Amino acid sequence: MKFPDIVAAVGHTPLVELASISPRPGVRLFAKLEGGNPAGSVKDRIARAMLEDAIAAGMLTPEKVILEPTSGNTGLALALLGRRLGYRVAVVLPDNVGPERQQALRAFGAEIIFSEGRYGSNGAILKAQELAAKDDRYFMPFQYANPANPRAHYETTAPEILADLGGEVDAFVAGLGTGGTLMGVGRRLREVNPQVKIVAVEPHPGEQVQGLRSLADGYIPPILDLAQLDAKFIVRSADAFAGARLLLEAEGIFAGVSSGAVLQGALRFAQRLERGTVVLLLADGGWKYLSAGFWTAPRTEFEQLSTGQLWW
Ligand SMILES: Cc1ncc(COP(=O)(O)O)c(C=O)c1O
């Protein structure tokens, strides 16, 4: 495919069948590989939509600095695409986030403002809100409440899936972070097949899966409507690692930790089906998680790795 610039190249990601992982002969699993986006994740889609909306509405003007609380992927996407569109970008990041994403954010030209790691992404949200309230040079897209987030998935992610599968999708499984992926893709798929099942994957309360949030932590993103979800699976960090390893070893797909969690949720959901087509959204590639150690560690060490907070 040919594009006039990198912003236009966002999306258009491959859909790959997981032929050797399917737990039942009649159930076909397809993975949407979002790691191939320009800044490396599904978040490029929403970053582009939020920036284009804000520019069109006159809210993002050349003297503004884009500010976003993010555990990584949305910051990377805003940094790359924001700079390409001519803006400065600052991100508020928990200080225990892994080294790869800090290095990438700096390489992409973003300023990093740290929040306390032990307060996780909620701590980053509070700090960004305080900064934006004090200084009106900041423009905060705020993915948790921005309607351009689910709309980007309604307008790009879901139509790509539908086109690749000729409209035949029985279930869609994705991780729950802001809820934008599940809401936007879910709404579009339901218009085509009202019976489609929208399945969310959440981390175990008190455990971390980079990019995902446990609703038990108390913050419900404003764009998330829980009534739109048909099922929800809670996945432990150690099982998310095992899922990422399985994707790599069985299918040659190098995806991130949330993708491992999504695979585990999809396998549990697929046990309930006689037949059907299940689409999994794999939000990013494995590159940012190399320092996490589980790629080569024996599985017996996964529990221990998942309780170490160093690289989150
Ligand atoms: C790696 C990763 N997976 C999954 C998600 C969840 O996506 P959403 O915010 O659309 O719910 C995110 C979001 O930050 C992410 O970074």
- Identify the CATH class of 43-139: alpha beta
Contact 6, 84 (CB under 8 A): yes
Residue 279 contacts by C-beta under 8 Å, 6 or more apart in sequence? 15, 30, 31, 32, 161, 165, 169, 171, 172, 173
pLDDT of residue 243: 96
Cα gap 115→121, rounded to integer Å: 9
User: pLDDT tens across 4-53, in order?
Assistant: 999 999 999 999 999 999 888 899 999 999 999 999 999 999 999 999 99
Structure tokens at 34: 């979002």
Angle at 200 between CA 294 and CA 296, to 5 degrees: 10
List residues near ligand 1 (CB under 6 A): 41, 73-74, 175-181, 210-212, 256, 258, 283-284
Say whether 291 is catalytic.
Answer: no
CA angle 286, 292, 294 (to 5 degrees): 85
For the chain, domain boundaries: 15-37+156-301, 43-139
- Could you tell me the pLDDT band of residue 72, with boundaries at 50, 70 and 90? confident
Cβ neighbors of 226 (< 8 A, separation 6 or more) are: 215, 220
157 has pLDDT over 50: yes
Q: Using 50, 70 and 90 to split pLDDT, how confident is the model at 311?
A: very low
Q: Look up 43 and say whether it is catalytic.
A: yes
Which 8-state DSSP code applies to residue 5? S
Ligand 1 centroid–CA 203 distance in Å is: 12
Question: Atom 2 (ligand 1): residue with closest C-alpha?
Answer: 211
Using one digit for the tens of pLDDT, what is the confidence trace for 74-123? Answer: 999 999 999 999 999 999 998 988 788 899 999 999 999 999 988 888 89
Query: What was the pLDDT predicted at 307?
Result: 57
* C-alpha distances in Å from residue 66, one per residue of 90, 138, 153, 264: 6, 6, 22, 35
The 8-class DSSP code of residue 157 comes to I
Q: In the structure, what pLDDT confidence band is assigned to residue 240 with cuts at 50, 70 and 90?
A: very high
Phi and psi for 26 in degrees, rounded to 5?
A: -85, -5
* In the chain, % of residues over pLDDT 70: 98
Q: Which CATH class is domain 15-37+156-301?
A: alpha beta
Decide: pTM greater than 0.85: yes
Mean pLDDT of all residues in the chain?
A: 93
